[in-house]
Amino acid sequence: MKTLNEIKIWIKQRDTPTKRALFRAAKSVLRPDFPPVPAIHLTLYAMISLISLAVLWVINALYWKPIFICWLSNRPKRLFLYGKGLPYLTGPLNISIGDDCRISTQITVTGRTSAPVPVQLLIGDNVDIGWGSGLYVGTRIIIGNNVRIAGQGTLAGYPGHPLNAKDRANGDPDLDQQARDIVLEDDVWLARGVIVNAGVTIGRGSIVAAGSVVTKDIPPGVLAGGVPAKVIKNIDENPTDHIGASWERVA
């Protein structure tokens, strides 16, 4: 008795009329061509999408969001977790989140496990943290009000490993002096994929272009970008089109 896989191989040989006929029949069954009927299929799509969104909203409101808030040291108002499930949290963390924040469920937040005291993540009001971002808290990460962190942003407050190769091979943790604060002051905007290293403060209202690596402090009110990030220009109080042009060159 041939197994299913042996039958598939036998049919795929197509070296006889019978095998070729069976091969065409199998393709017709596995790749059906049903004609689309827009009035029916688009209506079904809309209905299923609405039902899926409603179910997700109920699960988030009654299950995921309450669980997440239980992990916080405060009770933020109008917190919006978008996506399915929960952010990945690990390590000794003391987390405080302000009101009216929007946070993707597909982010990672870790606290340095070898820290002498629990580390702190302090998030202000009206903050966005986008999909795929990582907040790695070495001592403290302070995120001010109205901050925007686009998708795949990284705040790396500690390296996770010591500099000495032998110590790394032994599995030793990083040293206390390798872990430092990260501060994003009010109104900072990190574009997609920005990496901010330990010990960095980004001044109020500054923007960091996509893909940049911030290794040193950024002053307030500037556009910065590059690897490593450098100040490109001051941001005008009343932005005009030329700022957009500068942004495109560094994004």
Residue 41 annotated in active site: no
Q: Which of 65, 102, 140, 161 is catalytic?
A: 161
3-state secondary structure 149-179: ECCCCEEECCCCCCCCHHHHHCCCCCCHHHC
DSSP assignment string, 47-66: HHHHHHHHHHHHHIIIIIHH
In sign, the C-alpha dihedral spanning 182, 108, 149, 187 is negative
Active site positions, annotated: 161
